[in-house]
Amino acid sequence: MRTISIFLFFLFSTCIFAQDGSLDTSFGDNGILELNLTSLLGATPLNVFNHNIVELPDGSYILYGSYNINSTSGNSLFIIKVNSSGELVNTFGNNGVVTLDTPSQGLFHSQKIWVKSNQKILLSNHDFISGVDVYYITQLNTDGSLDTSFGTNGRIYPFSGTTLVRAELTIDDKLIVAKGKTIAEGTGLQFKKYLQNGQIDSSFGTNGVSNASFANDALLIRDFKLNENGAMFVASSVQDFNNPDLLLITKHLPNGTLDLSFSDNGIVTSPVLFEYYNRVKLDLFANEGVLITQSQIPGGSNGDTIYKLTASGELATSFGSGGFLNYSAPLADLFIQENQRILFLAHNYGDPILFPGGPFQIVRFYNNGEPDTSINFETEQTDLYRQYIYFTTDSNGKIVISAVDWNDSSITLFRLLNNPLGNEENKIDSLQIFPNPANNVLQITCNQCNLKGVDYKIVDSTGKVIVTTVFESNNPLIPISSLSDGLYFLHTSGATVRFIKK
């Protein structure tokens, strides 16, 4: 078992609880689960790509990746399911493992995984078949078998002939898929929407297709996010392989058209130049502010840049230093927590040809860009991991990380403690909630406001809206006995409060 260095910075020296960033010793072997891929896949894999990790409603985790057996074979996909304590779930696939002999390039970060409300699993993938780029999405049943009732024999093929495509799952389990259009297609972006069964949603746009026409050059989708109201945020770049060029951040209404109230007719031009060999991540704040990272990947020369836009699309100059965050480590992933703090996964992998991997760390910032030194997790400098590392937060707020060893021999999961209920989040703008955790009923009080008639909603840890209604009194009692155990968020006018149902 590899050694781990954890640096914990205490806000209060008298704190008696385990600090955020500590390994969760109830998971795997003292917080670390190392999965031997040769044993699980039945052969020694090459070129393993780690694509994503998600939590299921029962607290188990699904890992998604791809691999090949020799230098001439195409990539195949693998999905591994482990329970909340780190044991393989034997009822899933073959002793917890599903392999799909489905062609995959394992490139461009087109691969993603979602879990629907019925616990069926969606996988996106990209391949290059007979000289044509193909993007497709596969649906699996809860036991890992192919769900042939979805789309055509378990798959949909939204777009072909384009390299970078992105998709997102709506809160009602529909899929929206986005691509950049070529000059011959009229430039701009195109969206397609699919129903829960994989058939095109003809009520969206024109026969399920919506076009947002802008820009004078062909665009490539770099990242794509939906908010809970259905608004779409897209990062796309001008297709120029040789020279630094423009990155565009656009906001679209739920029907796919540009939201003209956002910046300049729905379009923000990145304040820094962009290279083809840069990786872009964006995430959304609760007030619809946007966080963008532009990170160097092999082949690029620009450094990493992090900046924030306001809900109206202006540079948020109160964030960090004039809208930019002063943080120089190479960024692999980001996530905005429900309390609006920013988690970064920084991975110093260097040159993957000369130096096959590197260590990584978790750092956190407040939403104004100030460092949050109450958490810091870092692997040993001698531990080498491939350049694709992902993380998520589960229903208890814990941080779960998946990383592939540099020699492709194993995929390792780390689970870190991350307290979902801090004192500063239990009372926001005089809104208080108790008991917390709660079993059957929540008591809500607000000494400096009148809650009666105010809208509120309860959202689970995946962002799915569970309840939308209004407070019936100033100190209401909210029944929660019908909720499953786990972490939830109560959103109301300018306030978000976390609570745990037990």
3 state SS for 208-221: CEEEECCCCCCEEE
Q: What is the pLDDT of residue 14?
A: 33
Tokens of 139: 């649906």
DSSP 126: E
Q: What is the pLDDT of residue 347?
A: 84
Q: How confident is the model at residue 13 (pLDDT cuts 50, 70, 90)?
A: very low
Q: How confident is the model at residue 94 (pLDDT cuts 50, 70, 90)?
A: very high
Largest CA distance in the chain: 68
CA distances from 333 to 125, 326, 461 (A): 19, 17, 18
pLDDT at 349 over 70: no
For Cα atoms 216, 217, 218, give the angle at the middle one, nearest 5 degrees.
140
Q: How confident is the model at residue 423 (pLDDT cuts 50, 70, 90)?
A: very low
Q: Which residues contact 94 (CB under 8 A, 6 or more apart)?
A: none
**Residue range 45-68: average pLDDT?**
89
Which helix (H) or strand (E) segment holds residue 424: the answer is helix 423-426
Q: How confident is the model at residue 456 (pLDDT cuts 50, 70, 90)?
A: confident
Q: How far apart are CA 10 and CA 373, in angstroms?
A: 8
pTM of the model: 0.80
The backbone torsions φ and ψ at residue 425, rounded to the nearest 5 degrees and listed phi first, read -100, -5
Of residues 495 and 4, the one with the higher pLDDT is 495
**Residue range 56-77: average pLDDT?**
82
Of 22-26, 105-109, 189-193, 268-272, least confident by mean pLDDT is: 105-109
Q: Which residues contact 304 (CB under 8 A, 6 or more apart)?
A: 293, 294, 295, 296, 327, 328, 329, 330, 331
Q: What is the pLDDT of residue 475?
A: 84
Q: What is the pLDDT of residue 8?
A: 37
> What is the strand order of the sheet 305-309 is part of?
278-284, 290-296, 305-309
State the CATH class of domain 4-11+18-416: mainly beta
Q: What is the pLDDT of residue 318?
A: 93
Q: What is the pLDDT of residue 414?
A: 97
Strand ranges (DSSP E) for 242-398?
247-252, 267-269, 278-284, 290-296, 305-309, 331-336, 342-347, 360-365, 377-379, 390-393
**Residue range 439-459: average pLDDT?**
81
Contact 28, 415 (CB under 8 A): yes
SS3 state of residue 54: strand
Q: How far apart are CA 80 and CA 402, in angstroms?
A: 11
Tokens of 359: 């260590």
pLDDT at 1 over 60: no
pLDDT at 437 over 50: yes
State the CATH class of domain 423-501: mainly beta
Mean pLDDT estimate for the chain: 85
Q: How many residues does the chain have?
A: 502
**65 exposed, middle or buried (CB, 10 Å; 0-12, 13-18, 19+)?**
buried
> What is the strand order of the sheet 360-365 is part of?
4-6, 377-379, 360-365, 342-347, 331-336
SS3 state of residue 502: coil
pLDDT tens per residue across span 351-390: 544 455 688 999 999 889 999 888 879 998 888 888 788 9
SS3 state of residue 6: strand
Instruction: Considering only CA atoms, give the Rg of the chain.
Output: 22
Residue with tokens 């040993």: 380
pLDDT tens per residue across span 274-312: 777 778 899 999 878 999 998 876 544 456 889 999 999
Q: What is the pLDDT of residue 18?
A: 67
Contact 284, 233 (CB under 8 A): yes
Q: How confident is the model at residue 421 (pLDDT cuts 50, 70, 90)?
A: low
**240 exposed, middle or buried (CB, 10 Å; 0-12, 13-18, 19+)?**
middle
pLDDT tens per residue across span 209-255: 999 999 888 888 999 999 988 999 999 988 766 666 789 999 999 99
Q: What is the pLDDT of residue 16?
A: 40
Q: How far apart are CA 393 and CA 399, in angstroms?
A: 4
pLDDT at 273 over 70: yes
pLDDT at 122 over 90: yes
pLDDT at 441 over 50: yes
pLDDT at 99 over 90: yes
Of 168-172, 264-268, 456-460, least confident by mean pLDDT is: 456-460
The separation between the first and the last C-alpha atoms of the chain, rounded to the nearest angstrom, is 34
The backbone torsions φ and ψ at residue 260, rounded to the nearest 5 degrees and listed phi first, read -70, -10
SS3 state of residue 425: helix
**Residue range 463-481: average pLDDT?**
85
- Residue 230 φ/ψ region, left for φ over 0, alpha for ψ in the -120 to 50 degree band, beta for the rest: left
Domain ranges of the chain: 4-11+18-416, 423-501
Q: How confident is the model at residue 453 (pLDDT cuts 50, 70, 90)?
A: confident
Of 501, 362, 463, give the one whose Cα is nearest residue 19.
362
Q: How confident is the model at residue 392 (pLDDT cuts 50, 70, 90)?
A: very high
Q: How far apart are CA 190 and CA 220, in angstroms?
A: 11
Q: What is the pLDDT of residue 424?
A: 41
